[in-house]
Amino acid sequence: MDNLILEGVVGNLARALTGRSLLRAERAGVWEYLLRFSSPAADTLIVCLRPPHPYLHRAAPRVPVRALPPDPFAVLLDRALGGARLERIHRPGLDRVVEMAWDTPAGETRTLVAELIGKSANLLLLDGGRRVLGYAREMASAFRAPVEGQPYRFPVARRGFEEITLDPARAGEYLERFASEGTPLAAASAFLRGLSPPLGEDFPSWVEASADPRGALAEILSAALSGRLDPCLYTPLPPGDLLREPSSAGAMPVLSPFPLRRPPLPVETRIPDPEAASRLLVSLQEAIRSDQEIRGRLSAALDREVRRLERLAGKLEEELRETERAEEFQRYGDLILAHPAARVVERFIPVTDLYDPGARELKVPADPSLSPRENAERHYARARKLRRGAETIRGRLDSVRSRVRQAGDWRRSLDSARAPADLRGLEDLLVRARVLPQPKIASTRRPRIAPEGDAGIRKFRTADGFVILVGRTAADNDRLTFQMASPHDFWLHAADRSGAHVVVRNPARLKELPRPALLAAAQIAAHFSRAKGRGRVEVHVTLRKYVRKGRGFAPGMVTLRNHRTLEVEPAIPGTEGD
């Protein structure tokens, strides 16, 4: 997302949402989350982390955004921030990072950090000490990977952009930082490319920039700082035409915070509101990417189908050529029976070839385990089978060749399709023709949540917000573990002792529990066991998915794998009953 456009969007959000309460947090798609506010306009903030163009803005007014079943992070957000008041939304620097500070109904401080940084985009929830409580995306890079319970690490600034602001008085300083570019104009252009690539590329064509690079840069920074952006969207066709026929794009739209002197694309659309400009850009990008994705998928499916059909046709043609040997096997049978004294020698029956004018000897293939007559019958059977198969193979070959021609027609339909509806129609056709698999239907099952007030389950909450559930009886233990707990919840039990099953809810799918929560749950497991009062107790810890119940096991009895063990003193630590 363009840094200067993002500055304008955040300014809008600060004016509209500061002081508003969050009604609920939801999931809208893969790595896409909704924050629904209690505001007169019923604002819905969309945070999308999908590469390569993550974004943040409100949904268009009076346009409903459908929510999907929550993922673990959406569950965590809704529980942690439901009813919380947004105290501040701002950018702590000029990188593409937005922070939202919240006050919860319980009087706790929480921070939601949106890192809108290309392939590394993420959304993280922090506690009052800025420790990570959960995050939306796992990062492949160990350097960027967040760790629950550890302090949040701000993304490292790009070289030359450390501690920059939009203060126009610092324009001269920024020119000095990029002095290695050669001229002041080149230095200003390089700096602007880091904030807004299209603006930085266009800057050298500005007459006023050539005359006074520092002054022109200061004016841009001043306008951005005061919210005087003039967003312009550049497209190869009018935006409405592109939405109707995204295949006509030829190039991705370009959004600039200010009009460009040398537009990269022919159609310029001015959109005064940065959020409205961002929404239109996202709509066009998603329409074009969707068109490219479905075209690529259909094209690949047709390529696979044609290759499959060509292989099948080759195999059938080979089988058809084999049927031409029917007369050869018929002749073998005739020759064997025409020589009553013939005998099997190794794997052949030597006979005089009565069909050869020279009456030369012919070695007829034979099975040594069969008599000459049985071998003759075997050759006759092979001849009959080949004659019968020839007609079937010709029919199949005609069908395959017809299917290849049909695939060619589908390919031409794909190439000529312009509107999304045309592509969807072709996709449905290929699904019915079994060229494409049936689309998977997304699961609507919601994560299992412990019912409130369950008399058979004790419930505790740690100081850092983890919910701990404890079974009261053996039957309650089975119900807790195998009906209420999710596979990624943590599971604890006193080692080699009768006792309660203890489950720690893990909606964020943490790989490890923070040490304080782990110790609290282990102490509770030791307390509700037969080892209570006998000093330090060993407690097994694993994930619920590694707990199994064998056939015929008594209530509460289970087997574990992949567990580890720690020693604790039995106690009910500083948790609060719920």
Q: Is the pLDDT of residue 101 over 70?
A: yes
The mean pLDDT of 126-140, rounded to a whole number, is 90
More confident residue, 436 or 443: 436
Convert the pLDDT of each residue in 524-578 to its tens digit.
Answer: 999 999 887 778 999 999 999 999 998 889 899 999 988 999 999 999 876 545 4
CB 148 within 8 A of CB 133: yes
Which residues lie closer than 8 Å to 35 by C-beta, 6 or more apart? Answer: 22, 25, 44, 45, 47, 77, 81
Q: Is the pLDDT of residue 448 over 50?
A: no
Q: Is the pLDDT of residue 5 over 60?
A: yes
Give the integer Cα–Cα distance in Å for 280 and 52: 17
Confidence at residue 149, expressed as pLDDT on a 0 to 100 scale: 86
- Which token pair is 50? 């999908």
Q: Is the pLDDT of residue 75 over 80?
A: yes
CATH class, range 3-135: mainly beta
The mean pLDDT of 228-255, rounded to a whole number, is 94
CB contact burial 383-402 (16+ within 10 A = b; e otherwise): beebeebbeebeebbeebee
The mean pLDDT of 222-239, rounded to a whole number, is 95
pLDDT band at 453 (very low <50, low <70, confident <90, very high): low
The mean pLDDT of 400-419, rounded to a whole number, is 94
Give the integer Cα–Cα distance in Å for 285 and 266: 17
Give the helix, strand, coil percentages of the chain, each rounded to 5. Answer: 40, 20, 40
Q: Is the pLDDT of residue 449 over 80?
A: no
pLDDT band at 511 (very low <50, low <70, confident <90, very high): confident
How confident is the prediction for the chain on average, in pLDDT? Answer: 91
Q: Is the pLDDT of residue 293 over 60?
A: yes
Q: Which percentage of the chain shows pLDDT scores above 90?
A: 71
pLDDT band at 129 (very low <50, low <70, confident <90, very high): very high
| DSSP assignment letter at 131 | B
Element (H, E) at 390: helix 372-416
Confidence at residue 476, expressed as pLDDT on a 0 to 100 scale: 93
Q: Is the pLDDT of residue 372 over 90?
A: yes
The mean pLDDT of 247-272, rounded to a whole number, is 95
Domain map of the chain by residue range? 3-135, 313-432, 457-577
Give the integer Cα–Cα distance in Å for 442 and 455: 34
Confidence at residue 93, expressed as pLDDT on a 0 to 100 scale: 85
Confidence at residue 456, expressed as pLDDT on a 0 to 100 scale: 84
Distance of CA 414 to the CA centre of its chain: 26
Convert the pLDDT of each residue in 147-178 to its tens digit.
Answer: 888 899 998 888 889 999 999 999 999 999 99
- Which token pair is 41? 């306009």
The mean pLDDT of 79-93, rounded to a whole number, is 94
CB contact burial 101-133 (16+ within 10 A = b; e otherwise): bbebeeeeebbbbbbbbeebbbbbbbbeeeebb
Count of Cβ atoms closer than 10 Å to residue 67 Cβ = 17
Count of Cβ atoms closer than 10 Å to residue 228 Cβ = 13
Give the integer Cα–Cα distance in Å for 370 and 348: 11
